[in-house]
Amino acid sequence: MTGSNAVMLTLALAFGLLASFGILRGLRAARRRASVHADLPAAVVASATLPAPTLATVAPVLPSAPLKATVHYTDAKGQSSVREVVIHSRKLQGEGRHALNVRESGNPTPKIYLIERISRLDYTVEGELWSLTSAGLIRELLVSAIPLKGERPPRHARPAPQTEPQEPEETVETSLAPAPLAGPAPLASLLPSGARGFAVIDLETTGFGADHRILEIAVLRLEPDGLLKDVWDTLVHPGMAIPGGKAQEKHRIHDRMVTNAPSFSAVAADLAARLDGHVLVAHNLPFDQGFLERRLAAVAGIRINLGRGLNTMQGRESLESLCQRLGVDLPPEQAHSALVDARALAQALLEGINHLKPAEAAVAVERNGATGGCELQPRSAVQTELQTTEVPEGWKSLPVPLVAGTEFIKTDVSDAVADALAQHLGLVYRKAQKVPVRRKPTFLLADDLASNNTKMREAKQLQLPVLLVCDIKDLAAGSEAMGWVYDPGEELSAMD
């Protein structure tokens, strides 16, 4: 063989090897995109001698919830979009339909997606990207991987690689299955010796610093086995005007609501007696316990050690996120009410919170000589009373149709509440620092007509209708709501 022939043969072999390597890579990539074949008619698939794809071949590695994914979704209006979401759980909607509880990227408000409206699903497992475009396979994967609301998510493992069968070794016994997730500890085991039970607490405050005051307290006492013993809650007069801002947008407590509420010193003796011998449970326990310690220390006649209880917050996870993960209902329009939050937290405790370790010490009252016996003012009773009292002077009612797409802004209401109502009623919530004049919204959403902040004053001046959360939260989309418009003439007439 001549030198030139040898070179030509070597080059041919090299090109052959490269081509084979390219074919192998192409086959491997085709396997990753095998779901595309699921969209082809069966006859086409058969003619191409390709086996019909199954979930086991298209997605051999199942993900686990919560699942971060990119979905191509078509909404009820027929509009399609690509959305970055985290899928937490699912629930049955009847007739075999499954709805997903998801959070969209950049939006804290939970959303409901129907599996049937997802046309493509992209997700990553163990660093590898997988895609599904077949409606049947998308449904099968989500039903297999996403737990029903209230159930614990399954943990899926990468299957063992297929190898040639070998002779088993006599003395070696191994398992490729992962170790099971550690479940929550039995409830009673979280109590120290001698504790009477749990005291699930929640506070609403004027702000977050040490110089702020308590506005609302709720305590749910539970027996060691979790049985509800009693419920205690009240608004608290802070001894000062309630400042506006982010804190007030969350707790939604206004000066008028605490007019007849007891002071903290008036309820301190009763509160201390209820906490005695119980383990404190709170979401962000250091915050709530710190507030209680400072306020109780200022009450003459009380000496108390609040112990070392159970902090249900892990990292920076919010109570809303914890409840959603455990399947506990906590409507955003009701969150940040002390009693509502405490009830949700107590239910989460019963569902089981994995990271909790046994409490080190229960509350111990060393001295309780303060006077008590005042009348409590629960938020629910006060709100009912305010809703039935006369409307402040100068306001007149008018109907406001809640037409789909109606734009509104808000004041003294949290973004979560505004978003939830917008989604429920098919409206559009616009964030605004003040009432726009050129592109005026249809109404201003508020909690109380007696508010005197900047937006409320602007709404009065522009005679912009004001809708109260309590008046529209139970309405259906497309219905008519009772609105209020400020008319200075009405106030003058009342004075005459």
Contact 183, 354 (CB under 8 A): yes
CATH architecture of 200-378: 2-Layer Sandwich (3.30)
Count of alpha carbons within 13 angstroms of residue 480, beta-carbon side:
4
Q: Identify the pLDDT of residue 335.
A: 79
Contact 100, 90 (CB under 8 A): yes
What is the pTM assigned to this prediction? Answer: 0.53
Q: How far apart are CA 200 and CA 275, in angstroms?
A: 10
Nearest to 141 by CA among 120, 162, 160: 120
Task: Outline where DSSP puts E strands in 394-486.
Answer: 395-401, 407-410, 428-429, 443-446, 466-468, 480-486
Q: How far apart are the first and last CA of the chain?
A: 121
Structure token pair of residue 247? 């804190």
Residue percentage of the chain with pLDDT more than 90: 31
Q: How far apart are CA 164 and CA 411, in angstroms?
A: 68
Which whole number is the average pLDDT over 114-138? Answer: 82
Cross-strand bridge partners of residue 396: 485
Q: Identify the pLDDT of residue 359.
A: 94
Work out the widest C-alpha separation in the chain, in whole angstroms. Answer: 121
Q: Where are the alpha helices (DSSP H) in 84-207?
A: 135-145
Confidence of residue 29 (pLDDT cuts 50, 70, 90): very low
CATH number of 390-495: 3.40.50.10190
Structure token pair of residue 209? 């610093």
Q: Identify the pLDDT of residue 124.
A: 82
More confident residue, 419 or 491: 419
Residue percentage of the chain with pLDDT more than 70: 75
More confident residue, 46 or 145: 145
Q: Is 390-495 the same fold as 200-378?
A: no
Q: Is the pLDDT of residue 57 over 70?
A: no
Neighbours of 330 (CB within 10 A): 21
Q: Give 270-323 as a 3 state SS string.
A: HHHHHHCCEEEEECCHHHHHHHHHHHHHCCCCEEEECCECEECCCCCCCHHHHH
More confident residue, 425 or 380: 425
Nearest to 394 by CA among 276, 281, 491: 491
More confident residue, 381 or 45: 381
Which whole number is the average pLDDT over 49-67? Answer: 70
Which whole number is the average pLDDT over 473-480? Answer: 84
Confidence of residue 46 (pLDDT cuts 50, 70, 90): very low
Q: Identify the pLDDT of residue 184.
A: 67
pLDDT in tens, 140-176: 888 888 888 766 555 554 444 444 444 433 333 333 3
pLDDT in tens, 230-261: 999 999 999 888 887 777 777 888 888 888 89
**Most confident range, picked from 43-57, 280-294, 321-335:** 280-294
Residues in the chain: 496
Q: Identify the pLDDT of residue 350.
A: 92
Contact 469, 333 (CB under 8 A): yes
More confident residue, 107 or 23: 107
pLDDT in tens, 310-337: 999 998 888 988 998 888 888 777 778 8
Count of alpha carbons within 13 angstroms of residue 302, beta-carbon side:
27
Cross-strand bridge partners of residue 110: 103
Q: Identify the pLDDT of residue 172.
A: 35
Beta carbons within 8 Å of 217's beta carbon, 6+ residues apart: 201, 202, 203, 232, 233, 234, 236, 267, 271, 338
Q: Is the pLDDT of residue 265 over 60?
A: yes
For the chain, which residues make up each domain, given as ranges? 1-32, 55-145, 200-378, 390-495
Tokens 């086409």, residue?
44
Q: How far apart are CA 222 and CA 228, in angstroms?
A: 5
Nearest to 269 by CA among 366, 367, 201, 371: 371
pLDDT in tens, 183-215: 566 889 999 999 999 999 999 998 887 788 999
Q: Identify the pLDDT of residue 17.
A: 54
Contact 98, 115 (CB under 8 A): yes
pLDDT in tens, 366-414: 998 766 667 898 988 887 666 655 577 888 888 899 998 999 999 888 8
Nearest to 324 by CA among 475, 153, 69: 153
Q: Is the pLDDT of residue 18 over 90?
A: no
Q: Identify the pLDDT of residue 177.
A: 34
More confident residue, 488 or 457: 457
DSSP string, 451-488: --SHHHHHHHHHT--EEEHHHHTTPPTT-EEEEEEE-H
Q: Is residue 420 within a helix (H) or strand (E), and if so which, with residue range? A: helix 415-425
Q: Identify the pLDDT of residue 49.
A: 45
More confident residue, 165 or 100: 100
Q: Identify the pLDDT of residue 30.
A: 45
Contact 201, 287 (CB under 8 A): no
Q: Identify the pLDDT of residue 215.
A: 93
Mean pLDDT (the chain, rounded): 79
Which whole number is the average pLDDT over 108-130? Answer: 81
Structure token pair of residue 13? 């072999």
Contact 331, 341 (CB under 8 A): no
Structure token pair of residue 190? 């979280």
